[in-house]
Amino acid sequence: MQMDELNSPNKTSEELLLSHEEIEKFPKSFYNHAEAIFHLQEVGIEIKQTRVAKWIGVSRANVSQVVGRMQNSGLIKLNDNLELTDKGLCLAKCISRRHRITERFLSEVLNLPWDKVYEETSRWENVLSPVTEKAMLKLLGYPNTGPFGNPIPYSNYQEKKMENLLNVESNKKYSIEKITEELKKDASMINFLQTHEMLPGTEIVVADARDYSITISTNKSDYFGIDKFIAKRVFVS
């Protein structure tokens, strides 16, 4: 294991296949593409170049060019779907780790509004050094998830049994565990979730599920509807 044993008491037996120096030699465009593929993979979405382009906010032609270079660098396999190699997955996890640690730092230490956290984190993650990462982790108390409940790679996170809101029973209490990367990329979506207190740790009741919307409550009295796009991306236990 390298990178100062990943900077924390939360040691993992998983080996890093890339050193910090090797990671820093890659173009920053590799970071964005590897991380996008990893996040799509986390939620079980087929990984096509068009989806990666939409995620990052660039053209498909741009993605095709970067993917070709990543393939030449041994980071991606080109099959029907895009697939990260072991080294590509290591790169993606290291960048995602920086991302989720930075999210916690910005939201909990700097008290940045939740709807600003993702955008600012995207600026910080590409320049975060192991020394700064270590200092952030110590200050935060070595968390194993980001503020939205997503696991910090290479931590001691233990997977919990959880379901998205499409697959739960009505009239039961649940606790929100995770909001996926796809939702938190959208500032207006995070504003909506925050306004209705739909954040990790909040208890909710699913009152009704229809073809196009689900009615839920976060405080036993006020009910509101969410569409299935949101429901599929909010996980509860």
The structural domain count of the chain equals 2
pLDDT value of position 1: 46
pLDDT per position as a tens digit, 217-236: 887 557 888 888 888 889 99
Band of residue 212 on the pLDDT scale cut at 50, 70, 90? low
- Domain span at residue 82? 16-140
CATH number (domain holding residue 55)? 1.10.10.10
Lowest average pLDDT, out of 8-22, 117-131, 132-146, goes to 8-22
Residue 99 lies in a domain: yes
pLDDT, one tens digit per residue, over 52-95 is: 999 898 999 999 999 999 999 999 998 888 999 999 999 999 99
In this structure, the answer to whether residues 183 and 222 fall within a common structural domain is yes
201: burial class by Cβ within 10 Å (0-12, 13-18, 19+)? Answer: exposed
pLDDT at 37 over 80: yes
- pTM for this prediction: 0.86
**Helices 28-42 & 86-104 angle (0-180, nearest 10):** 90
In this prediction, residues 102-121 reach a mean pLDDT of 90
Write the pLDDT tens digit of every residue in 181-210: 888 888 888 888 888 888 898 898 888 766
Considering only CA atoms, which of 63, 178, 61, 55 is closest in space to residue 122?
A: 55
> Confidence band (pLDDT; 50, 70, 90) for 9?
low
183 vs 105, higher pLDDT: 105
Structural domain contains residue 63: yes
For residue 12, which of 160, 158, 162 has the smallest C-alpha distance?
158
Can you tell me the mean pLDDT for 99-115? 92
Residues 123 and 169 in one domain: no
